[in-house]
Amino acid sequence: MLSFSTCPDPGEYGIGFPAVYDPAREVFRNMLRLVAYDVADARRLRKVSAVCRDYGLRIEYSVFECDLEEQVFQEFWERLLKLIDPEEDRLISYRICAGCVAEIRSAGVVERPRKVLLYIV
């Protein structure tokens, strides 16, 4: 599995205190993509969701934020295309440029989940 998260600023995060999501302050290393899907069949839905979790961070039930190099995104997209039924399902991706990332707004209880960088046992 690939890891695309950046390290959080230690001054803003504490154990047991999740940080408030401010998309404009996020640092993305590659092109940010927003991927959304609507899959009719439960079995295909689980498979599509699993592939999306491998490449991005879930921000809504069927919406993922993906910080990927172009080649990696193409591999991801090809995997998704093999899973869906184009007669029944919907799959869409939006590229979000660095300038537009600074303009992203959020409201309410929105936390950006992060992939685990390190497990301490």
Residues in the chain: 121
Q: What is the pLDDT of residues 57-97, one digit of tens each?
A: 998 999 999 989 999 999 999 999 999 999 999 999 999 98
Tally of structural domains, the chain: 1
| Cα first-last separation, the chain | 21
Residue 73 lies in a domain: yes
Q: What is the pLDDT of residues 5-51, one digit of tens each?
A: 444 444 444 444 455 555 555 566 678 899 999 999 999 999 999 99
Residue 57 lies in a domain: yes
SS (H, E, C) the chain: CCCCCCCCCCCCCECCECCCCCHHHCCCCCEEEEEEEECCCHHHHHHHHHHHHHHCEEEECCEEEEEECHHHHHHHHHHHHHHCCCCCCEEEEEEECHHHHCCCCCCCCCCCCCCCCCCCC
CATH number of the domain bearing residue 75: 3.30.70.240
pTM for this entry: 0.69
Domain that holds residue 46: 26-100
